[in-house]
Amino acid sequence: MGLCVCGSPNRCAVNAAPGQLSQVQQVVGDFLAGLEQRTTERKPAHPHVVEKPVPNGPGDSACLSGSHIIRKLITDPTFKPCPVKTHLLLPFPVSYVGDCVRTAPYTHPDHARYEGSETLQTFAKAASWAQSGQFSQQDIDEAKLAVFSTVDAPVAPSDKGLDHFLYGLTDEMGQAQREQLFAVHRGALIDVAHRYLGVGGSAHGLALLGPENARTASDPSWVIQ
């Protein structure tokens, strides 16, 4: 059984047997109260903080501070996203790469139309391929099956409710996302490929972890650390 213990600004999700919930609740609650007492006098490190309530969702969780969970989001009015490429030199036998693309939020229909996990060598070609629409209906159906195998995968008892606790995602949001995935069609895929994967369409960041690389070393757009 899950238990949500809230102590501003901290929250904890705990899994325990039903007979131990009251004891766990007391111990974790006392721990959070101690942390809150020690941090009361501190000045906020981030002056721009927006508080937003997390939508309520079904489940067995209980919250000590009430039925509503408040998320504190740090904002910076002067922040503007810009492309960054960073190579972290590490003594690995192989390189590990990551490409972060700014796309649509979870509840937006466009979120259901974007998925990618290409390496740096193939990402540009894959983006061009998606924009050109050189894929068949069979490709779309197979991609949907691959996505749904994850979306509909069984949830471990210890993980139930975590999406709501960590990200504020309710079961209703998940069902809406599932329906949007099912409704994805060729035209929508081409549209989001142009909007989010095209040059200048969305800020993105590249990260490379691994040994020295002649390509990044000779490219001034890469930051070597």
Tens digit of each residue's pLDDT (9 = 90 or more) over 139-194: 999 999 998 988 888 988 888 888 888 888 888 888 888 899 889 999 999 998 88
Taking 70 as the threshold, does the pLDDT of residue 211 lie above it? yes
| 194 assigned to some structural domain | yes
Q: Does any domain span residue 222?
A: no
Q: How far are the Cα atoms of 79, 127, 199 from residue 85, in angstroms, in the given order? A: 18, 18, 15
Count of CB atoms situated within 10 Å of the CB of 97: 15
Q: Are 63 and 4 in contact (CB under 8 A)?
A: yes
107, 190: one domain: yes
Instruction: Judge if 178 and 112 occupy the same domain.
Output: yes
Final residue of a domain: which of 29, 53, 74? 74
User: The domain spanning residue 183 has which CATH number?
Assistant: 3.30.830.10
Residue 132 above 50 pLDDT?
A: yes
The pLDDT score that the predictor gives to residue 22 is 83
Whether the CB-CB separation of 109 and 181 falls below 8 Å is answered with no
- Which segment of 31-45, 46-60, 176-190, 193-207 scores lowest on mean pLDDT? 46-60
Share of the chain above pLDDT 90, in %: 8
Residue-wise pLDDT tens digits, 84-114 = 889 999 988 888 888 877 777 777 777 766 5
> Do both 129 and 45 map to the same domain?
no
Q: Would 94 be classed as within a structural domain?
A: no
| Statement to judge: residues 110 and 46 lie in one domain | no
Q: Structure pTM?
A: 0.61
Question: Quick one: tokens of 37?
Answer: 């007492």
- Whether residue 27 lies inside any domain: the answer is yes
- Judge whether residue 78 has pLDDT over 70: yes
On whether the CB atoms of residues 83 and 67 are closer than 8 A, the answer is no
Residues 195 and 114 occupy one common structural domain: yes
d(CA 150, CA 165): 20
Structural contact between residues 92 and 33, judged by C-beta atoms closer than 8 angstroms: no
**Do 120 and 67 share a structural domain?**
no
Q: Are residues 111 and 194 in the same domain?
A: yes
Count of other CB atoms within 10 angstroms of residue 36: 13
Kindly state whether residues 67 and 110 are assigned to the same domain.
Answer: no
Q: Is 96 in contact with 120 (CB distance < 8 Å)?
A: no
Q: Please report whether residue 95 resides in a domain.
A: no
Distance CA(219)–CA(148), nearest Å, equals 39
Range of the domain at 128: 103-202
How many domains does the chain divide into? Answer: 2
CB atoms within 10 A of CB 1: 15
Do 196 and 108 share a domain, yes or no?
yes
* Any domain includes 113: yes
68 has a pLDDT exceeding 70:
no
Residues 6+ apart with CB under 8 A from 155: none
Q: Is residue 219 part of a domain?
A: no
- What is the CB neighbour count within 10 angstroms for residue 141? 10
What is the edge-to-edge ordering of all strands in the sheet holding 84-89?
96-101, 204-210, 84-89, 222-224
Query: What does the pLDDT read at residue 130?
Result: 87
- Tell me, yes or no, whether 59 lies in a domain: yes
* pLDDT score recorded for residue 57: 44
Confidence category of residue 9, pLDDT binned at 50, 70, 90 = low
